Amino acid sequence: MPHVLPPLAYDYAALEPHIDEQTMKLHHDLHHQAYVDGLNGAEEKLAKMRETGDFSAVQAVQRALAFHGSGHANHCIFWENMGPNGGGTPAGDLGARIQRDFGSFDAFQAHFSAAAATVEGNGWGILAWDSSAGQLIVLASMNHQNQGLHGSVPLLMLDVWEHAYYLKYQNKRPAYIKAWWNVVNWENVAERFAGATSM
Ligand code: MN3
């Protein structure tokens, strides 16, 4: 079955003034759709290769699969990680775990913000559950998939590709990151944490 673009659970303008309506519309409807299309295209090509037995182009298509597949997966998490009436700090088990693994929420937030702000070119800031070590970690991913950690489960993802902020923030990525904390849906992050730690 081909992959499909999931609809946003809130209006394009729901994250104003922190993330503007036009950016959300372009980002969701065009950019994310392109990753869905790229993923479907790669899977079709791989199916064809298995049918014909001709794997001469497999290296490039595996690369496309990882890029577009990660682009699709990351954005699905990113949209759900945000919402109107977001922000604040996480309570419960997630809040306690952040305190344990990073020292404090403020230390975590500073670490995550710095990691995301300094990604070279396009990428993501990520809070993940490292299932092999049993701890929360911050990752700074390049493109959609590089510098990941296999076995980690992303819980909170911040898109720092220029398409995520350039219309409103131009080259001021740190200002976008600072504003983004106001739209984080911690309930969604806590649900992901509960799911990841019960696996
Ligand atoms: Mn994006």
Compute the distance from residue 27 Cα to the ligand 1 centre, in Å. 6
Give 92-197's CATH code, choosing from 3.40.30.10, 3.90.920.10, 3.55.40.20, 3.10.20.580: 3.55.40.20
Taking the centre of ligand 1 as the mean of its atom positions, its distance from the CA of residue 31, in whole angstroms, is: 6
| The pair of three-digit structure tokens given for residue 159, joined into one six-digit string | 């898109």
Residue by residue, DSSP assigns 15-31 as: TTTTS-HHHHHIIIIII
- Which sequence spans correspond to the domains of the chain? 21-80, 92-197
Q: pLDDT value at position 199?
A: 73
- Give the pLDDT score at 1: 77
Question: What separation in Å is there between the alpha carbon of 164 and the centre of ligand 1?
Answer: 6
pLDDT of residue 129: 98
Cα of 21 vs centre of ligand 1, distance in Å, is 14
User: Residue 103 is encoded by which pair of tokens?
Assistant: 């020292």
**Nearest residue to 99 via CA among 135, 140, 133, 130:** 135
What pLDDT is recorded for position 81?
98
> Cα of 150 to ligand 1 centre, how many Å?
21
CA of 52 to the centre of ligand 1 (A): 34
> Alpha-carbon distance 22 to 168, whole Å?
9
User: What's the average pLDDT block by block, 10 residues per block, for the chain (199 residues)?
Assistant: 95 98 98 98 98 98 98 98 97 97 98 98 98 96 93 97 98 98 98 94
Per-residue pLDDT at 23: 98
CA of 124 to the centre of ligand 1 (A): 9
Fold of 21-80: Helix Hairpins (1.10.287)
- Report pLDDT for 45: 98
Separation of alpha carbons 109 and 184, rounded Å: 12
- Tell me how far the alpha carbon of residue 35 lies from the centroid of ligand 1, in angstroms: 9
Q: What is the pLDDT of residue 185?
A: 98
Helical H runs in the chain?
A: 21-25, 33-52, 58-80, 92-102, 105-117, 166-169, 173-180, 186-197
68 Cα: distance to centroid of ligand 1 (angstroms): 11
The rounded Å distance from CA 83 to ligand 1 centre is: 16
Question: Could you tell me the distance, in angstroms and rounded to a whole number, from the CA of residue 178 to the centre of ligand 1?
Answer: 17
CB proximity list for 101: less than 8 A, separation 6 or greater: 108, 135, 136, 137
Dihedral of the alpha carbons of 99, 103, 108, 109, in degrees to the nearest 10: 90
How far, in Å, CA of 31 to CA of 148, rounded? 21
